[in-house]
Amino acid sequence: MESSWPAEWPNIRPVDVFHVFDPNGDVLLQLHDLAPEGEPALEEELVPTEEAAPEEQASPEEEAAPEEAALEEEPVPTEQPAPEEEPASEEEQVARDDTSLFGTRRGEEPLDILPIVCGSRVPQSEGGEPLTKSVYLRVSSKHLIVASAVFDKMLGSDQFSEGQTLHSSGNLVMPLSDDSEALIILMHIVHVMTNSVPREVTLDTLTKLAILIDYYQLHEAVGFVSELWIADLKQKSFPRSLDAEVIPWLFISRVFSMKYEYAQLTQILEYESDDRLEDNIDNNLPIPASIIDRIQEHRIEAIGRAITIVHDHIATYLTSDILCSSDKQFDCDAIILGSLLKGSIGIGIWPRPEVPYCGMTFKNLASQVRKMRVLDQCSQDRYCRGYSSDSHGVMEAIEASMISLEGQFLGLGLDSFLLGTRSSKKSKKKSKKDKYAF
């Protein structure tokens, strides 16, 4: 432990991970990671097991009552003092203050993490074994304040409990729920330790970085390296159709103001997603509900207009007017009408389905409409001339209308959504039928 380690700060256990970004840093960030599988618990490292003395054998009398003997050997763990009964220090009371900026971050419930101040404990299971290992980052409040508007507001004044503790005690332990890998990378950038910053990251890591960059408002601080990350990943793979990478890239493009890519990705979602898009988004991604709603509105409008294109042709042939001018005009009109109705029923658009068109995507619907077989009598009559073989031009008209409709898929404009919006995608949950009713 360093000589400048504040007396109020917790001791670093063997199972913990410790990173120093400033040897004299006045802020200790604490995160909790799941302990690696197979790693011994803290108690197993410090307390020898009973197997260390195999030469001691139970007597015949002890073997007669093994359960009673076991009960007599159990009291050792219960003799440990209960640290939670110690009176709370002044720093603990400040850290628990309701004015903490981290009380409800990113629209979530208050963090389910014990305040780690003045040597308080790591969360434990009922058996007393650590559920997690702690990752400690010793950082400089000055660097945090300069790089992040959020840290500036939190630590630069007494408005929040974190700033109050820092100014009164000269140091601060701050428990966070952030991803440790991403936060370590960002702290290297914030503390100008550029040699330790990776030039390449995975899409998953970039997504985690984008979450923290967006929340802590670190866009300017990471600008020089985020461009390298994005350029590298785009060169390797960028979605051209709906797949598992579209949503992460959508969030990344929003955070880093990638207008062209944002329009591309929202265009894909409008064209290829169904009514379950909202349910397929990771809860950890703070994508505003307004964006998902707008994508769904465009999807629903496009599907509705595609259905209307076919229905309009059905309505034309449902009238009593005779449209075919051949000798078999009634038969020809009836065959066209029957083909349109039968084809529409087959692809599920007759009668008209209800909004939000559950399970339907515009891409699939457009393909199904183009594959409809519309027959007529004239094309079967070798003596009838002057007519298209495609049912009096019905399918040509439908195709032209579909092409025009597809040309209107332009995606969403990034400027129409404020980047500062932090609304949860489930903040205004309604039934889908009511939500998209016209």
Spatial CB neighbours of 182, under 8 Å, sequence gap ≥ 6: 205, 208, 209, 211, 212
CB 121 within 8 A of CB 13: no
Count of CB atoms situated within 10 Å of the CB of 110: 11
pLDDT digits (tens, 9 = 90+) for 120-179: 334 454 555 555 789 999 999 999 999 999 999 999 999 999 999 999 999 999 999 999
The CA angle 101-143-424, to the nearest 5 degrees, is 35
pLDDT at position 331: 83
* Half-sphere exposure at residue 348, Cβ-oriented, CA atoms within 13 angstroms: 14
The CA angle 168-7-110, to the nearest 5 degrees, is 60
The secondary structure of residue 49, as a DSSP letter, is -
CB 341 within 8 A of CB 350: yes
CB 7 within 8 A of CB 176: no
pLDDT at position 64: 46
Q: Two tokens at 414?
A: 């990034």
Count of CB atoms situated within 10 Å of the CB of 365: 20
pLDDT at position 280: 87
CB 211 within 8 A of CB 284: yes
Three-class DSSP category at 132: strand
Q: How far apart are CA 387 and CA 199, in angstroms?
A: 64
pLDDT at position 268: 97
The secondary structure of residue 130, as a DSSP letter, is B
Helices (H) and strands (E) in the chain, counts: 17, 4
Domain boundaries, the chain: 1-37+84-177, 294-406
pLDDT digits (tens, 9 = 90+) for 343-401: 999 999 999 999 999 999 999 999 999 999 999 877 666 545 544 455 788 999 999 99
pLDDT at position 65: 47
List, as own/partner pairs, every contact residues 33-42 make where C-beta atoms lie below 8 angstroms and the sequence separation is at least 24, other chains included. Answer: 33/132, 33/133, 33/134, 33/135, 33/180, 34/131, 34/132, 34/133, 35/130, 35/131, 35/132, 35/133, 39/15, 39/133, 41/15, 41/129, 41/130, 42/13, 42/14, 42/15, 42/129, 42/130
Q: How far apart are CA 415 and CA 433, in angstroms?
A: 28
- Strand 27-34 vs strand 132-139: parallel, antiparallel, or unpaired? antiparallel
Q: Give me the residues of the chain with pLDDT under 70, please.
A: 1-3, 34-131, 322-323, 325-328, 379-390, 416-438
